[in-house]
Amino acid sequence: MISIRECISESELISVRNKHIDFVSIEVDKRIDFYINLFKSINSFSIGTKEITIKNSVNKFIHVKQYVPIIKIIFANQKKFDETKYLNLKKTELFKTKAQNVNLVIEKLENLKSKNKLILGLDLSFGSQYKIDYYNYLKDSYFEPIDFLINKIFDYENWFLNLDPNGVWGPYQLTKSLGLKVCSYCNRQYTFSLSKGKNKITRPELDHFLPKNENPLLSLSFFNLIPSCTICNRDCKGKISFSYQTHFSPYEANSKHELIKYDYYPKTYLGSIGETDEFRIFVKNDGAKLSPELKAKIDGNTKVFELNTIVNEHKDVVQEIIKKRHISNDNYIETLQKTFPEAKLTLEEAYRLAYGNFYDEKEFNKRPLAKLTKDIAVSIGSLKKYSK
């Protein structure tokens, strides 16, 4: 598990966040304006209002293809509305119970528009319990009267995911701007963002840290979208419910990614010198120094993402580190520096040649297993002379 905030400066992060909010808020505003206009129009219809008048009154602000799916959501039986049934908008008794309170719906939609950008930029991973309590108030109380509209307003599945990779913004632009080339949950899988014009090639999954089915208000919120690999997002996490009390977000403070560390123990002598893979890799954390709440969150991630199990599929990497340490008598990096004096290798350069990965924690987002590699190198003593 690596920290996004350790791999990108706060100023860069804010810049990406602002681009996301500025773009997404325009579409969200359009949808809110559509619903405000729809319910205000409903208030004005009379018995004699003609169908063409109704259709012209409500079909504004958004693309014509969105009219029917966005309007029919207000009906208790959604089959009561299609392109031929605009007259049914005069029959409020056909609406969902909450939709029948037209004036309250309008009031809450106007409130939602005023808080649109706040919600899109809400950072529950980096702040006090007050922020979480405030969000829960918005979700469970303040905007509860219009909860039947939220999925269509903050539309992740049908709008955001379908944006062109060569457009102004979307999933490809978001993930590429963050510069994360590996999964932030496991640091094991490459997660490049690649496209050719409008043709999509590949990009990271975007995990909703707080599940969107439980938190539709955060479906498009920047800090709730976690770039991750398919194994972590779909296979391991799946539909498991996360919260900031039970699990740890990659956007939370995690200095040098050290809240968890990888270590190993040999099962045989040959395993201890890197001649065989007779050892086990495991995840540890400094439980004695962690608060019970933080330890529970770290343990929650370790369990869900199967870190102790999956990491043992990378024994080849650890075996090489152990063997290099054994054959060089703990001096592998120093030996490289002395063998090639003209190269004037820095510690970081020699480390990269020795272990094929990045030394600086700020670069752990560039290559898979960067954290595992350094944790094991430190654990066996190869880096003790060079610790900063």
Query: Contact 247/361 with Cβ under 8 angstroms?
Result: no
Q: Count CB-CB contacts under 10 A for residue 378.
A: 16
Whether the pTM exceeds 0.75: the reply is yes
CA dihedral over 100, 104, 106, 109, signed as positive or negative: negative
Name every residue whose Cβ is closer than 8 Å to that of residue 219 and which is 6 or more positions away in sequence. Answer: 150, 151, 154, 155, 156, 208, 212
Residue 233 corresponds to which tokens in the numbers above? 């997002």
Residue 138 corresponds to which tokens in the numbers above? 């918005």
Please list the rounded mean pLDDT of every run of 10 residues in the chain (388 residues): 94 98 97 97 94 94 90 97 96 98 98 98 86 95 98 97 95 96 96 90 95 97 97 96 95 94 97 97 90 95 97 97 87 86 89 93 96 94 59
Cα–Cα distance for residue pair 54/62, rounded to 1 Å: 16
Give per-residue pLDDT as tens, 127-155. 678 899 999 999 999 999 999 999 999 99
Residue 362 corresponds to which tokens in the numbers above? 């700020």
Query: Going by DSSP bridges, is the β-strand pair 194-196/261-266 parallel, antiparallel, or unpaired?
Result: unpaired
Q: What is the domain partition of the chain in residue ranges? A: 25-118+145-152, 255-386
The whole-number pLDDT of residue 385 equals: 47
Cα–Cα distance for residue pair 28/342, rounded to 1 Å: 59
